Amino acid sequence: MVIGEETLWKRMSDPLTSRLIVTPLLSREQIRGGSVDVRLGTEFILMKRSARGPIDPMAMEEPLQDYQERVQVEVGDKMILHPNQLVLGVTLEFLQVPPDLLAYVIGRSSWGRLGLIVATAVMVSPGYRGSLTLELANLGDTPVYLYPGTRVAQLVFHTLDDSTAAYSQRGGKYTGPVGPEFSKLALDRDWQAIRLLSQKS
């Protein structure tokens, strides 16, 4: 069931462990109808063309500075996103999803019509704490400016029909960040098996 506006506000006053947190909330209008608008934050990770070789998710202990560069763009400034360029952004808001809810991230179609695709990771797990890393890609043919502080996506909250262990208690890899985070694919347990199988073959 989708959570409505009144319940969203109520959940923001719950005790800390079950509270819905969305902060800073620059405008009350960000919570309207059944969704919460989130804004583009000020920190970005730019993907670089590396001279060292391709990214190997099985061996991501390689220095990530070869592939990424962190930049800060203040609210009021802008950053250009070129065609086919991918950058990692972050929501301006820090979130806590209560353990009995989950959220879906939906990119705003107004941006999509300019070629900007937001957030390929669409589900935010119950109990997640932190800002959300946004994958931003320009699929159009024309460069687009990104303005921190603009509303880039919506969160729609749903209830769960049974209690679920919170994300952090299940060993989630992304709990608590306030800036964008590079992929932590290398932490997946599956790699152990895949690595062993690749040695046998």
Report if residue 46 touches other proteins, rule: CB under 8 A: no
| Number of residues forming the site for other proteins (CB under 8 A) | 26
Binding of other proteins by 12 (CB under 8 A): yes
Question: Is 135 annotated as catalytic?
Answer: yes
**How far is Cα 174 from Cα 135, in angstroms, rounded to an integer?**
15
Which is closer to other proteins, CB of 123 or CB of 178? 178
Best CA proximity match to 157, nearest among 124, 129, 121 = 124
Is 167 annotated in a binding site? The answer is: yes
Instruction: Please answer whether residues 157 and 8 qualify as being in contact, where contact means their C-beta atoms are separated by less than 8 angstroms.
Output: yes
**Residue with Cβ nearer other proteins (10 or 48):** 10
Determine which residue in the list 24, 113, 163, 200 makes contact with other proteins, applying CB under 8 A: 24
Tell me which of 26, 55, 156, 186 binds other proteins, using CB under 8 A: 26
Find out whether 198 is annotated in a ligand binding site. no
Taking CB under 8 A as the criterion, which residues in 76-95 touch other proteins? 92, 94
CB burial of residue 115 (10 Å; 0-12, 13-18, 19+) = middle
d(CA 52, CA 71): 21
Burial grade of 118 (CB within 10 A; 0-12, 13-18, 19 or more): buried
- Cβ neighbours, 10 Å, residue 161: 8
The span of 24-32, 50-58, 110-118, 159-167 binding other proteins (CB under 8 A) equals 24-32
Q: Which of residues 153-182 bind other proteins (CB under 8 A)?
A: 175-176, 178-179
The helix (H) or strand (E) run that includes residue 21 is strand 21-23
Q: Which residues here bind other proteins, judged by CB under 8 A? A: 12-13, 16-17, 21-29, 72, 74-75, 92, 94, 96, 129, 131, 149, 175-176, 178-179
